[in-house]
């Protein structure tokens, strides 16, 4: 069990870190004022330290799998056709990203959809079409795994732990909402582990939700809702579990607060909200400089504020009490319970 996990993760690590290194070599270097560099720049963790932090992540997950907390993940490292297609598309897209990055062009979009908020209409990470096309959604998972050298899916799976604990005391036939589902990769993991959950996937991007729908077509009991996290079209107290991965750092602070408020409204009393997103400053001091560097290296307009925000306090204002917090390499998972008097 443990061996097949290690083989799968090592293969993923080698594959995606090779892509990372090639893209790093290819990309136009990021301009840093060498005379007057930002303070964090001198404290950047070495590759060796990063590797050690990643090994800690995989080792922790290996323990969960040995304890049979959840199923051994499907890494799909033998799906050669899709993997090579992903690699080809990734490299074909790189020059476009690099051009946008060097020209600092983050409003390079075809869609001028008036219904979408301004904060969202941009090329996050300088990615082609922002979050607004199926082409972007099809590239997304490969790009995220490359950014994290094959550890993205592992970091997301830390969302499973509070869900497992909650389901120990509850029937699995519950209503589960995912906010900012993206192209649906994590929902595959949820369905694989908890097939009876009634899942609603939601996302502001129609195109990403369409790709998620295609990816998840073999599963039952999944609904799709194209909507904003800050304006959820659901009745009060209609979900037992709500989950969100890598959405909160992508929105301005005021929208984050509205999303907390909406999540609290549609969550049942004693229901749980699981939030997996980037680490914040102070969570792991070795990685702090990397967090500060991230918005320097790419278009992440709301990230600097996100890494400094008191999420626990922001959630508590809306009756969501944090009861679980776990770092997972460059991410962390927080779980909140909806207070029954709110
Ligand atoms: C970084 S991706 C994360 C996707 C996925 N959850 C994952 O684990 O990779 C952010 C997603 O949030 C969506 N999004 C951004 N702002 C949103 C908002 N205000 N409401 C709902 N979804 C939003 C984007 O369209 C995108 O699919």
Q: Which of 132, 148, 180, 274 to mutate to test the pocket of ligand 1 (most atoms within 8 A of CB)?
A: 180
- Tens digit of pLDDT for each residue in 228-246? 999 999 999 999 999 999 9
- Tens digit of pLDDT for each residue in 8-27? 999 999 999 999 999 999 89
Which segments within 219-300 are labelled E, that is strand? 222-226, 239-245, 267-278
Report the pLDDT averaged over residues 204-208.
Answer: 97
Sign, CA torsion 307/140/45/277:
positive
Rounded to whole angstroms, what are the CA distances from 247 to 128, 143, 326? Answer: 18, 16, 18
The pocket around ligand 1, CB under 6 angstroms, is made up of: 120, 131, 144, 156, 180-182, 186, 203-205, 208, 228-230, 245-247, 250-251, 255
Ligand 1 atom closest to residue 117's alpha carbon, by position in its atom list: 19
How many domains would you assign to the chain?
1
Cα-flanking dihedrals φ and ψ of residue 241, to 5°? -130, 135
| CATH assignment at residue 321 | 3.40.50.150
Give the pLDDT of residue 111: 65
Do 268 and 240 form a contact (C-beta atoms < 8 A)? yes
The pTM assigned to this predicted structure is 0.95
Range of the domain at 112: 1-342
């Amino acid at each position: 069990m443990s061996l097949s996990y290690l083989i799968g993760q090592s293969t993923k690590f080698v594959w995606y870190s090779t892509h990372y290194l090639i893209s790093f070599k290819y990309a136009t270097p990021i301009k840093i004022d060498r005379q007057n560099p930002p303070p964090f720049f001198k404290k950047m963790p070495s590759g060796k330290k990063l590797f050690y932090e990643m090994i800690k992540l995989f080792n922790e997950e290996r323990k969960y799998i040995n304890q049979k907390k959840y199923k051994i993940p499907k890494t799909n490292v033998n799906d050669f056709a899709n993997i090579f297609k992903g690699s080809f598309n990734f490299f074909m897209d790189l020059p476009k990203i690099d051009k946008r990055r060097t020209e600092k062009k983050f409003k390079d979009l075809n869609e001028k959809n008036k219904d979408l908020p301004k904060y969202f209409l941009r090329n996050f990470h300088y990615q082609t079409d922002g979050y607004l096309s199926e082409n972007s959604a099809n590239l997304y998972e490969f790009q995220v795994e490359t950014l994290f050298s094959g550890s993205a899916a592992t970091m997301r799976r830390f969302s499973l732990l509070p869900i497992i604990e909650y389901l120990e005391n509850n029937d699995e036939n519950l209503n589960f909402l995912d906010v900012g589902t993206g192209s649906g990769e994590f929902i595959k993991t949820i369905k694989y582990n908890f097939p009876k959950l009634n899942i609603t996937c939601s996302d502001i991007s129609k195109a990403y939700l369409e790709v998620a729908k295609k990816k998840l077509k073999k599963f039952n009991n999944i609904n799709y809702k194209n909507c904003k996290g800050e304006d959820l079209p659901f009745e009060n107290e209609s979900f037992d579990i709500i989950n969100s991965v890598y959405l909160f750092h992508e929105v301005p602070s005021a929208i984050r607060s509205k999303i907390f408020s909406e999540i609290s409204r549609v969550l049942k009393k004693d229901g749980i909200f699981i939030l997996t997103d980037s680490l914040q400053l102070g969570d792991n001091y070795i990685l702090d400089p990397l967090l500060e560097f991230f918005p320097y290296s790419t278009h992440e307009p709301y990230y600097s504020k996100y890494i400094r925000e008191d999420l626990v306090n922001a959630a508590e204002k809306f009756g969501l009490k944090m009861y679980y917090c776990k770092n997972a390499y460059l991410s962390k998972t927080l779980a909140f319970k909806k207070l029954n008097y709110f």
